[in-house]
Amino acid sequence: METNARLTRLASCAGCGAKVGAGTLASLLGDFRTRTDPKLIVGFDKSDDASVYVVNDETALIQTVDFFPPIVDDPYLFGQIAAANAISDVYAMGGEPKLALNVMCVTEAMEEAWIREILRGGYDKAYEAGVIISGGHTIRGSEPLYGLAVTGFARPDQIRRNDAARPGDALILTKPLGVGILATAAKAELAGASLMDKIYRQMATLNRDASRAMQRYRVHGCTDVTGFGLMGHGCEMAQGSGCTLHIQVGKVPFHPEALEMADMGLVPAGAYRNRDFAEGSTRIRGSVSRAMQDILYDPQTSGGLLIAVDERDADALRKEIPGAAIIGYVTEREEWSIVLEA
């Protein structure tokens, strides 16, 4: 869409970089009285990507919601990325998304055509995913926001949790890192159009094929790498599983331009929140530059899946997912949640 919209100028932060820091919500919700139900096998207390409720022996209900401020100026593309990001939570749990509700905030500065294009982008991406948008809720506010509340389904034995990695598993990452840093550079007009077109295509790409591929292998744990970055989500996986993740930094896929931008200090605020959360649980073996560490902590918008898979299946699964890489392995619990190996 040809547009003069500057949606990103209407927001104080962009995409999943707006996410509240890892660990913060857990402390806020810690003493609330809540009901329990043995059929709720994944709830907010698990720090997972979505909740899971077992309906019967054949069906588990997966629910999630995700929305954020614009990470791009093109309204249609913003809608696509926001929808892909929200739907990804269901894919990360091993499910198939089926229904969604729009969640939207519009501002006085937004033209009606922009609002329509955001919604059209969301509807088109949902259609691609086989999802029916059956309604939603829109309010007025000071910053634009868009996303989806998504419902999906899976067999209970196909649910992939973020707290089920096992010693001996290999770690696979399905999309390269650096999105948040490059989006920050684009906002400062320091990233070229061709580079950002590639980044935007990546963010708008569904994790559907990777999710379906992992169901054919002995995958024990999975999460999508979004606002908490590889380190934040990896730390949650390690702590929930009672294991240690060893990340071989030289094998981690990333956009090389992000390294230059990080070296210039173009790092989103969310990366610092992620560092505050995970750095104290991380050991670095060898030399990892500050810029490369920034990439590992960088909040991703509509990022890839981090998959813990039996090492015997790792190479076959990697080959089924274009762009995926084996980036490390899982061991019994050590002193640290994550060990970065240079």
Q: Where are the domains of the chain?
A: 7-158, 169-341
Statement: the pTM of the whole predicted model exceeds 0.75: yes
Which residue in 2, 4, 19, 112 sits closest to 303, CA to CA? 19
pLDDT value of residue 187: 85
Catalytic residues: 16
Beta-carbon count within 10 A of 132 CB = 14
Per residue in 128-166, pLDDT (tens digit) is 999 999 999 999 999 999 999 999 999 999 999 999 999
DSSP string, 59-121: -EEEEEEEEE--SSS-HHHHHHHHHHHHHHHHHHTT-EEEEEEEEEEE-TTS-HHHHHHHHHH
Q: What is the Cα–Cα distance from 183 to 191, expressed in whole angstroms?
A: 8
**Residue range 7-158, CATH number:** 3.30.1330.10
pLDDT value of residue 46: 67
Per residue in 38-61, pLDDT (tens digit) is 999 998 776 778 999 999 999 999
* Residue 172 predicted with pLDDT over 80: yes
pLDDT category at 2 given cuts 50, 70, 90 is very low
The architecture in CATH of the region 169-341 reads Alpha-Beta Complex (3.90)
Beta bridge partners of 326: 172
Percent of the chain beyond pLDDT 90? Answer: 85
Per residue in 263-290, pLDDT (tens digit) is 999 999 999 999 999 999 999 999 999 9
Per residue in 220-275, pLDDT (tens digit) is 999 999 999 999 999 999 999 999 999 999 999 999 999 999 999 999 999 999 99
DSSP string, 224-290: E--TTHHHHHHHHHHHHHTEEEEEEGGG--B-HHHHHHHHTT---HHHHHHHHHHGGGEEEES---H
Decide: helix, strand or coil at residue 212. helix
Per residue in 21-31, pLDDT (tens digit) is 656 666 776 67
Q: What is the Cα–Cα distance from 340 to 281, expressed in whole angstroms?
A: 11
pLDDT value of residue 25: 66
Contact criterion met (CB below 8 Å) for 53 and 60: yes
Q: What is the Cα–Cα distance from 95 to 260, expressed in whole angstroms?
A: 37
What tokens appear for 169 in the block?
Answer: 């598993």
> Is the pLDDT higher at 11 or at 199?
199
